[in-house]
């Protein structure tokens, strides 16, 4: 039985090719979708994942990085996944008489691995994971998996080190159409309507068409040299937009990728998934540009380190990298094809012949399923907030102010007793100091917020004010504060300076509204010593409980400290 998930064409493509090869060897094979093992939870996972990639990529990056820094956080999630999806997977395996289960999808792999290791109701047949990417992570591999098949020796070595389990580098799982019988370049371009003499760049962004494909297309088309062909997948809006622009071509969901690769000179991609493997098989150079967060960025690094792809870091570097890739195409083609070491289906077939089929588990009661769902929801929500807290600590989704500098970005967190004072507003404007205004304050003092704007003071979103730090209800105050400030000012505030830890919901809402997060900040207390002045830092004077006069005096002390350190105050507006 082969387990995949409709979370992108890469996992499905590898599963379909594996099934095709196994059946050609006479091994009966059945494919199932992991997400169908619990339809409601599966739909939720898919919606959240797609929303992360489209609207809140930093949230996905945050979660991805926390897996590596605190892998113990993965254990509760893996337990929940096996609890929700495991019993149905076990029933499917028993129904189809499976003697081995192969997963091409990360969450299925760890759920099955957990089921193989547990003492009670242990999953009774071998589990194989086929790692479809160069980059593996703690939610891709598991100690309980009997065999990991990997696309490259570097990946296999990393998996063995992480799990202590056997890992074998077989190479990618790619359809034969990309390795044999590719059309002639001139013929392919003629069929697709591509200029015969162009330098053609096939730009891909996975089956969902996510990431900054549009920016890549525009950058290439603007050169007048390269002809971008954008494969937009199922993102029909993107295809329509790009179709209206000169200098390139945009196509939607297609089964003509072998023909497109035959017509292209180079592939520019942002995820490092199945399309990259297909390009290696077709002998096309691969360049990564503006990778999606998490596994996309990690794949870019790993493929470049393995010498099979290049990672371009700027528009200028992209042009140079593409030119070099085209000039050295034969060398790069040989490197890409060299990773196809063996047939993964042979390894699977060898394990499938070794044991008896699985027995079906007992039916769980309705109360048991309800309890499992409740525990899953609680742990999932808690995990999201833990991940977001760790991400904020790491700087994910926030403005990067690392490194030395002579600027000091200064703001005052306003309060009810000082926000209406024109003398304070005038000082803030004169010294280029921002005002951090919380939503509840803006809602009760709309005239004062408008006055700040008329004085030319830059206003920063301070959140809603007091709220539960557990974020039990999602802390929708970020959105409420944004709406209140927009009503008072007549425009959207671009910066967020929260006074409490951020939740995953906070990060998502901030990203949807395109707000940049100022975190961490140096809080200047209303009394006591002024913190040591250091360049390239954000200083927020906490003046919520101070009168206007006391705020001015405290602010002047802060400015004097900065001046003594040779730092010049600057408005937060420069960071927007």
Confidence category of residue 448, pLDDT binned at 50, 70, 90? very high
Cα–Cα dist 405/423, whole Å: 30
- pLDDT value of residue 391: 45
Q: Would you say the C-alpha torsion 440, 446, 450, 455 has a positive or negative sign?
A: negative
Summarize the confidence of residues 434-438 as an average pLDDT. 94
Tokens of 472: 């039990």
pLDDT score of 365 more than 70: no
Q: What is the pTM of this model?
A: 0.67
Percent of the chain with pLDDT over 90: 55
Cβ atoms of residues 19 and 12 within 8 Å: no
- pLDDT value of residue 320: 96
Tokens of 419: 């926000």
Is residue 142 exposed (0-12), middle (13-18) or buried (19+ Cβ within 10 Å)?
A: buried
Summarize the confidence of residues 134-158 as an average pLDDT. 93
Cβ atoms of residues 182 and 380 within 8 Å: no
- pLDDT value of residue 251: 95
Which residue's structure tokens are 């998934």?
Answer: 273
pLDDT score of 376 more than 70: no
Tokens of 310: 């290049």
Tokens of 196: 């015969």
Per-residue pLDDT of 249-295, as tens digits, reads: 999 999 999 999 999 999 999 998 899 999 999 999 999 999 998 88
Cα–Cα dist 195/6, whole Å: 35
- pLDDT value of residue 44: 84
Tokens of 89: 């997977």
Task: State phi, psi for 488 to the nearest 5 degrees.
Answer: -75, -35
- pLDDT value of residue 378: 55
Confidence category of residue 475, pLDDT binned at 50, 70, 90? very low
Per-residue pLDDT of 4-22, as tens digits, reads: 545 556 788 899 999 999 9
Count of positions (residues) in the chain: 576
Which residue's structure tokens are 């329509």?
Answer: 240
Cβ atoms of residues 459 and 434 within 8 Å: yes
Cα–Cα dist 266/263, whole Å: 9
Cα–Cα dist 299/294, whole Å: 9
- How many C-beta atoms lie closer than 10 Å to residue 355's C-beta? 13
Tokens of 538: 């954000």
**From residue 92, how far is each of 104, 115, 476 by CA, in Å?**
16, 14, 41
Cβ atoms of residues 418 and 424 within 8 Å: yes
Higher pLDDT, 485 or 513: 485
- 495's enclosing H/E stretch is strand 495-496
Listed range (13-27, 443-457, 469-483) with the worst mean pLDDT: 469-483
Per-residue pLDDT of 538-568, as tens digits, reads: 899 999 999 999 999 999 999 999 999 888 8
- pLDDT value of residue 358: 61
- 436's enclosing H/E stretch is strand 434-437
Confidence category of residue 395, pLDDT binned at 50, 70, 90? very low
pLDDT score of 352 more than 90: no
- Enumerate residues 6+ apart whose C-beta is below 8 A from 134: 151, 152, 154, 155, 272, 298, 299, 302, 303, 306
Cα–Cα dist 15/2, whole Å: 6
The 3-state secondary structure of 181-226 reads: CCCCHHHHHHHHCCCCCCEEEEEECCCCCCCCHHHHHHHHHHCCCE
Confidence category of residue 466, pLDDT binned at 50, 70, 90? low
Task: State phi, psi for 237 to the nearest 5 degrees.
Answer: -65, -40
Task: State phi, psi for 305 to the nearest 5 degrees.
Answer: -65, -35
DSSP assignment of 72-99 equals: GGHHHHHHHHHHHHHHHHHHHHHHTT-S
Q: Would you say the C-alpha torsion 288, 290, 296, 302 has a positive or negative sign?
A: positive
């Amino acid at each position: 039985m082969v387990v995949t998930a409709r979370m992108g064409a890469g996992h499905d493509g590898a599963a379909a090719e594996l099934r095709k090869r196994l059946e050609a060897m006479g091994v009966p094979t059945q494919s199932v979708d992991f997400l169908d093992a619990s339809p409601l939870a599966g739909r939720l996972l898919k919606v959240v994942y797609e929303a992360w990639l489209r609207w809140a990529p930093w949230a996905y990056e945050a979660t991805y990085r926390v897996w590596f820094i605190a892998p113990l956080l993965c254990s509760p999630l893996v337990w929940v996944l096996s609890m929700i999806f495991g019993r149905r997977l076990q029933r499917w395996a028993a129904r189809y008489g499976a003697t081995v289960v192969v997963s091409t999808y990360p969450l299925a792999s760890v759920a099955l691995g957990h089921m193989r290791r547990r003492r009670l109701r242990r999953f009774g047949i071998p589990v194989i994971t086929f790692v479809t990417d160069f980059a593996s992570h703690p939610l891709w591999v598991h100690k309980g998996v009997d065999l990991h098949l990997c696309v490259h020796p570097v990946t296999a070595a990393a998996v063995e080190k992480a799990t202590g389990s056997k890992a074998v580098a077989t190479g990618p799982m790619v359809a034969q159409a990309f390795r044999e019988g590719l059309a002639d370049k001139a013929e392919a371009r003629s069929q697709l309507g591509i200029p015969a003499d162009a330098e053609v760049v096939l730009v891909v962004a996975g089956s969902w068409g996510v990431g900054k494909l549009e920016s890549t297309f525009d950058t290439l088309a603007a050169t007048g040299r390269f002809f971008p062909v954008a494969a937009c997948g199922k993102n029909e809006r993107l295809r329509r937009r790009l179709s209206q622009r000169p200098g390139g071509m945009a196509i939607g969901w297609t089964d003509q990728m072998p023909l497109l690769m035959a017509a292209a000179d180079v592939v520019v991609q942002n995820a490092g998934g199945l399309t990259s493997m297909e390009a290696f098989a077709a002998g096309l150079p691969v360049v990564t540009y503006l990778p999606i967060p998490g596994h996309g960025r990690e794949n870019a690094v790993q493929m470049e380190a393995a010498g099979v792809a290049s990672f371009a870091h700027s528009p200028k570097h992209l042009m140079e990298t593409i030119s070099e890739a085209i000039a050295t195409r034969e060398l790069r083609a040989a490197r890409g094809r060299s990773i196809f070491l063996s047939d993964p289906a042979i390894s699977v077939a060898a394990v499938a012949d070794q044991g008896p089929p699985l027995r079906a588990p007992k039916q769980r009661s309705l109360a048991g399923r309800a309890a499992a769902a409740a525990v899953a929801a609680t742990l999932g929500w808690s995990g999201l907030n833990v991940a977001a807290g760790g991400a904020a600590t790491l700087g994910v989704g926030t403005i990067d102010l690392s490194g030395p500098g002579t600027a000091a970005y200064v703001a005052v967190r306003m309060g009810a007793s000082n926000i209406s004072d024109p003398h304070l507003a005038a000082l803030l404007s004169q010294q280029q100091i921002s005002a951090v205004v919380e939503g509840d304050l803006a809602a009760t003092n709309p005239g004062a917020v408008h006055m700040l704007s008329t004085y030319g003071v830059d206003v920063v979103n301070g959140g809603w004010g007091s709220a539960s730090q557990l974020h039990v209800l999602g802390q929708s105050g970020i959105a409420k504060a944004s709406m209140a400030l927009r009503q008072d000012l007549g425009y959207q505030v671009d910066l967020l300076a929260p006074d409490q830890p951020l939740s995953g919901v906070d990060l998502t809402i901030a990203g949807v509204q395109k707000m940049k997060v100022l975190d961490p900040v140096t809080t200047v207390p209303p009394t006591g010593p002024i913190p040591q002045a250091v360049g390239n830092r954000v200083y927020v004077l906490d003046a919520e409980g101070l009168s206007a006069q006391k705020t001015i005096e405290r602010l002047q002390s802060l400015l004097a400290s900065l001046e003594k350190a040779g730092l010049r105050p600057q408005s937060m507006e420069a960071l927007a």
